[in-house]
Amino acid sequence: MSPHMTSDEFREYGKQVVDWIADYLDTVESRPVRSQAEPGDVRRALPEHPPEHGEGFAEILADLDRVVLPGITHWQHPSFFAYYPANSSGPGILGDLLSSGLGVQGMLWATSPACTELETVAVDWFAELLGLPFRTDGPGGGVIQDSASSASLLAIIAALHRISDGTVAQQGITERHMVYVSTETHSALAKAARIVGIGAGNVRVVGVDQKTLAMDPEALDRMLAEDRAAGAAPVLVCATIGTTSTAAIDPIRAVGEVCRRHGVWLHIDAAYAGVAAVCPELRWVNDGVAEYADSYATNPHKWLLTNFDCTTMWVADREPLVAALSIQPEFLRNNATSSGAVVDYRDWQIPLGRRFRALKLWAVMRWYGAEGLREHVHTGLAQAASLASWVAEDPHFALHEPQTLGLVCFRPRWPALSEEDADAATLRLMESLNNSGALYLTHTKVAGRVVLRMALGGTRTEQRHVEAAWQAIRAEYRGT
């Protein structure tokens, strides 16, 4: 007898799985947001050895309830306010399921033309929805990556290729290349610098405006000039639209002018906030991108309803990226590639193989339409505005301003405590809220002080959840 699942069995269990997911999402609110598991709990609940004889799917599903769910932190819980959201949605989940169902590996156009061409259309559509100028029929174009971190790494690889005229791809790094970030830039840039061999020590950290926490373009200008005068070869500046700590927005136009003057690649990490531009009144976040960005990445897998993983990345000119990464081993040769008439996305990313991620983004854009996406962003913004106003009105709390987009940062006031003790008290307050299971929030540091962060914009978060979270925070504060 064949060990494979028959199509009748697949239909039966497939329906059970979809029902399981629907029930899970319907009841996720009743679960503690952050997993209460202790280290090793999940592992201990699992057999030490794999089965010799196959098991029924019902048993797998039973273990999902018994073993897996207690070890899940519920990112789709309406009271999940930690980090930034990783939204899922019905069309996003189903698009991903269809990708699994097709089981396509789209490394080349020839290995599934639809996987490539649908992706090209999806990223072109998405650029249009965000009001971005990137189009695949021009010199640049877009691609879907697994993460914003990969996009940053790829930007550095492309920038190294451009600045060295291809030498780095052949001989490795022969000059003292430098990458420029701000104090607020995501750690993915330092990681990328380590990976490419530039080294974290050659990541230069530019200061920020003390209030807005946005990169200081004049400080960048000075640093670039000094480094070049000292014999270094600046390669890339990463500006951020929506920093991880406070959603600060770097002045792209001013930073871009500096980059242009110094001949340095400008990468924009808009992982969180770029998608806000589906709302025309928020397109200001991307001011300067059209004129100055060499590469740009934003994550529909954060705020915009597309299941993880889905980072849309565009380059103004695809040549340095593709030239840096394209290698033609015999086993990948095919007529379509040789004709030059097709895109092979393997040359736009680190791995060779690639999933059919475009299906979920395409499904999300078609299901919601531009108006549905705008409505979702507006809901998160309205919830953030309410929370910010409650914090601002409460004398026991200090709101971090400017409050930006869907992120609200604040800290409790502890007038009797030193700064150090106050920070410790803030962290204890956060831990006890998170241990309660009622909500999940995280912290950061601003100007050396601990600050709490609440990111709004979850698919299932309603105003009542934000109100309940705020009441829980106040009650916890009063109880300390």
CA-nearest of 355, 407, 399 to 381 is: 407
- Near ligand PLP by CB under 6 A: residue from 88, 89, 116, 299: 299
| Per-residue buried b or exposed e for 368-397, using 16+ beta carbons within 10 Å of the residue's own CB | beeebbbebbebbbebbebbbebbeebeeb
CB 272 within 8 A of CB 208: no
- Near ligand PLP by CB under 6 A: residue from 89, 111, 116, 149: 149
Structure tokens, 331: 């086993």
**Site track 53-82 with ligand PLP (rule: CB under 6 A), x = hit:** ------------------------------
**Residues in binding contact with ligand PLP, number by CB under 6 A:** 15
164 belongs to the binding site for ligand PLP (CB under 6 A):
no
CB 360 within 8 A of CB 201: no
**Site track 314-353 with ligand PLP (rule: CB under 6 A), x = hit:** ----------------------------------------
Select 34 or 267, whichever has its Cβ closest to ligand PLP. Answer: 267
404 belongs to the binding site for ligand PLP (CB under 6 A):
no
Select 95 or 242, whichever has its Cβ closest to ligand PLP. Answer: 242
Stretch that binds ligand PLP, among 15-23, 130-138, 228-236, 238-246 (CB under 6 A): 238-246
240 belongs to the binding site for ligand PLP (CB under 6 A):
yes
Q: In what order do the strands lie in the sheet with 177-182?
A: 141-145, 311-315, 295-298, 265-269, 233-240, 177-182, 203-206
322 CB-side CA count, 13 A: 17
- Near ligand PLP by CB under 6 A: residue from 147, 286, 295, 349: 147
In order of 126, 178, 245, the CA distances from 284 in angstroms are 17, 29, 20
* Contact set for ligand PLP, span 175-194 (CB under 6 A): 186, 188
CA-nearest of 468, 463, 384 to 433 is: 468
In order of 16, 134, 144, 217, 292, the CA distances from 260 in angstroms are 56, 18, 26, 12, 7
Select 186 or 374, whichever has its Cβ closest to ligand PLP. Answer: 186
* Contact set for ligand PLP, span 84-103 (CB under 6 A): 84
CB of 153 to ligand PLP, least distance (A): 10
Binding site for ligand PLP (CB under 6 A): 84, 147-149, 186, 188, 240, 242-244, 269, 271-272, 299, 311
